[in-house]
Every structure is written in structure tokens, then in C-alpha cells.
Amino acid sequence: MRVEDVVFSLKLWVYSDPEANGSFPIYLQLYCAGDRKYLTTGFHSSQSYWDSEKDVLLDSHPQYQAILDKTNSLKDDVKFEIRKSLENGDDFLTLADIKKKVKEKSKPQYEKPASRKKFYEFTQQVIEECFEEDRPGTASVFVSCRNSLKKVIKTDKAFTAFTKEDFQAYEKFLKKTVPEDSSISVYLRTFYRIWNIAQKKKLCPEKHHPKFHIEFKPYRRFESRKRTIEKKYIDALWGLKLDISSRHNRSRYVFLLLYYTRGMEFCDAALLKKGENWAGNRLKYRRQKSGRKYDFKLHPKAVAILKYFENYPLQSDGGYILPYITSKHDTAKKIKQRIISALRDVNEDLLDLEKMIKCPKHITTKVAKHAIASHLLKKRVDMKFIQETLGHETELQTRIYTEALDFDDEVADTLEAVI
């Protein structure tokens, strides 16, 4: 990587909740060869000071010059790290490496005292760190938890100011408004996670934790709503005769691609690039939700589908394998919006396809993940392999969700044999 390979641009991060004054954080985006990383500037802006058409900061912003100075300082730090790396003979520096080095260099010397650290303020810090680490899915879970708590605890306050009554009021609110115990569990586990992170940072005493006052047990086993379909319906989709130029045909192969790539999420599949993620019979990518890296041998049918899209009449001019994202989707916001609209189209088509194959259950892109895991379980594939594919910490999680896969080459051969 050379200095001139990196494209810099400021981005208004509207994916997190706005501050009380309606402003959003400003990040410096680093772009190189299809990869993007973000560095926080420490500044915020309302949308009134941002040109949404050109995606640039307006010079009428009260802190315009200070933001430019900070941006230029970050650019200089990035360029310095690249040059230093090249001087040391390291030609394989990645944007992730650069980001880590710059963050270490700019780490604040002063940490706000625990007595002044407030819950929502700290949660926003955790959310922004998730975004910076390219884990938007995890960030969205924290955002949902915080938003639900705000309906009970209106104003921000220190961790130590939370009372037993506060915790029990939140539990009561969740039980009243959230229909499924498994969903309540997600909210509470996320809530507990924030406290755990805060306690590791010594922001509140270990004994001051909501788990001591909330009766609901979020870590117990819950019955999960099954989204799987029988293997015969996967085969029926594969053999279905469709107009090769129809959107239904494309959506059929998208779903089958998700299934045969071990339950990949649609948002991850939409971001796959030719050469960068797929080569021969191997696929490598990083999951958007968790940031986890995957690198595995492909099932032959997955290879066949990828080749189908390689020669598909409608091609992405942005280098993506699937034809949804193009060069005009040049910001994270535009890409996210395009993925959402494409996912909606695919799921609409799948509703029609399920009727064509007379499947008694609804088929959505999520079904691919549940289906592949349940089919492997029926073929008696060892649970530890399925657990590994899901990235679950415990086998219990795998048994509850029975989702999908990321095996090594040894298990890839087993996978090929059973599906």
C-alpha cells in the first residue's frame, strides 16, 4: 500500500442515535482497494451543516476550521504510518493495521472519572467503537437496548446512581412490551454486557449490577422459532424451471448461494467482490454483524452459482459478485440502503417461489442459515463443528439456534457429502 492508494473523505455517521442536540459523529473514512475503515474526529455535526447531495461538511459549521485541522492531522498520521511501514520493508500493511496504529497514537491520556461517567454516554462510546471496528450489527443491538431503556429511564445518570427500582422497572417494561422471552433475553444480555464492559473499566463496583435485582434469567435456554425447511424443498428450488432472465430466477440462486455458502447473511453476500473474496473453490469474507473472518472451501454447487453470477447479464460496475451494488452507491449509507431494498425484493420473490414448490413454510433469506444447520444435524454432523461455524461460545447456543457454518477443509468434505 502506498500513500496515494488511500482516498480520504469525511462522513457524517447517521447510523447511530443523534445526540441531544440532534448532531451525529463525524468520521474520517479511509478507502483503499474496496476496503473501508473509519477514524473518529471527535467532532459532531447536525444534518443542517452537511451537504447531503455532495456528502461534505459545510463551511458554515461553527467548528469548520477545527474539524479540518483535526482531519488533516489524522491524514498526516495515516501517511506517516504508511511511509514508515514501507521504509521497514512491510509491503502488506492493511487499513486495519493503519487504523490500529493511529488509534494507539491518538489515545487520550485522560479518562473521565467514574463518578462523572454516565450510562448513556458510555453506551454511545461502546456503539461508536463497534462502528469503528466495522461491527455495525453489534452496534445496532446496543442501540436497540439503549433506546428501550430510555423509555423507562428518561435522563442519563451515572452507573452508581441506578437503583434496584430502576432495574426492576426496566424488567417490568420489557415483560410488558416484548412478546417473546427469547427477545427479552437479548435485551437483558445486552444490558448486562454494557455493565460488564463498564466494570472492566472500573467505572462502577462489581456488586452494583442489574443481575442482582432482575428476576428474569436471560441466559437460560429458550425455545427458538424454527425457520428451517426440509432438504427436499432446497432440491425443489434447485430444479425449478424458471425464465432465466427473470428476477425470480436471480433470487432463487441468491437464496441457494446463501444456503451452500454455509448460511451466509444476505448483507455479507451482497458485499462479496470478484477476486477479493472468491477465488477458485475458496471463499473468504468478514461477517458484518460480528466482524468475524471466514475462509473456507466452497461446496461445488456454491461454485456453480458464483460462476452463474460471474456471467450474469446484469453486472455490478463496482466489482461486486451480485449485481445489486454499483459505483453510484459510493457511501456507506447508500450501500446500506441498497442492501435493504435488494433484500426486500429477494424476500418478495421467495414468497412466490415457496408457492411454486408447495413449501408449507415461509422462505426468507434467514431460512438458509437455519436450514443448512438443521440438515447437517439430521446427517449427524458433530455438533462441535456446527458450533464452530456459528461462532458460538457454547454448544448450548448452537442447539438453541441451530444456525450455519464455517468449517475447516476436513469438515468441508463432510459438508459436500451430506448436502
Q: Is 257 found in the same domain as 378?
A: yes
Of the listed ranges 301-310, 312-321, 342-351, 391-400, the least confidently predicted one is: 391-400
pLDDT for 407 equals 40
Confirm whether 223 is domain-assigned. Answer: no
State how many domains the chain has: 3
> CB 166: neighbour CB atoms within 10 A?
17
Q: Are residues 406 and 264 in the same domain?
A: yes
| Residue-wise pLDDT tens digits, 173-201 | 999 998 788 889 999 999 999 999 999 98
| Predicted confidence band of residue 117 (pLDDT cuts 50, 70, 90) | confident
| Domain termination site, one of 66, 88, 107 | 107
Q: Report if residue 218 sits inside a domain.
A: no
Domain-located, residue 294? yes
Same domain for 347 and 243: yes
Residue 220 lies in a domain: no
Task: Specify whether 358 is located in the same domain as 287.
Answer: yes
Residue 219 located in a structural domain = no
Task: Evaluate whether residue 369 is within a structural domain.
Answer: yes
Considering the domain architecture, whether residues 300 and 406 belong to the same structural domain is answered as yes
Last residue of a domain, one of 147, 177, 212: 212
CATH number at residue 335: 1.10.443.10
For residue 405, pLDDT over 50 is answered with no
Domain boundary among 159, 182, 212: 212
Note whether 267 and 356 are same-domain residues. yes
Q: Which long-range contacts (CB under 8 A, 24 or more apart) does 187-196 make?
A: 187/144, 187/145, 187/148, 188/214, 188/216, 188/218, 189/218, 189/219, 190/141, 190/142, 190/144, 190/145, 191/145, 191/149, 192/218, 194/119, 194/122, 194/123, 194/126, 194/142, 194/145, 195/159
Mean pLDDT for the stretch of residues 391-399 = 60
Task: List alpha helices for 24-150, DSSP H.
Answer: 64-87, 95-105, 119-132, 136-150
**Domain shared by 379 and 307, yes or no:** yes
Predicted TM-score of the model (pTM): 0.54
What integer best gives the mean pLDDT of the chain?
84
Residue 416's pLDDT is 66
168 found inside a domain: yes
Same domain? 278 vs 405:
yes
- Say yes or no to pLDDT of 15 above 70: no
* Residue at 225 is within a domain: no
Mind giving me the DSSP string for 179-242? --HHHHHHHHHHHHHHHHHHHHTTSS-TT--GGGT--S-TTS--PPPP----HHHHHHHHH---
Residue 391 has pLDDT above 60, yes or no: no
Is the domain of 379 the same as that of 260?
A: yes
Helix axes 365-378, 247-260, angle to 10 degrees: 40
Q: Is the pLDDT of residue 151 over 90?
A: yes
Which structural domain, as residue segments, surrounds residue 311? 231-418
CB atoms within 10 A of CB 116: 9
242-297: per-residue pLDDT in tens? 998 899 999 999 999 999 998 899 999 999 998 889 999 999 998 877 677 888 89
Burial class, 97, CB count within 10 angstroms (exposed 0-12 / middle 13-18 / buried 19+): middle
In this structure, are 186 and 258 located in the same domain?
no
Residues 85 and 131 in one domain: no
Same domain, 274 and 334: yes
Residues 6+ apart with CB under 8 A from 69: none
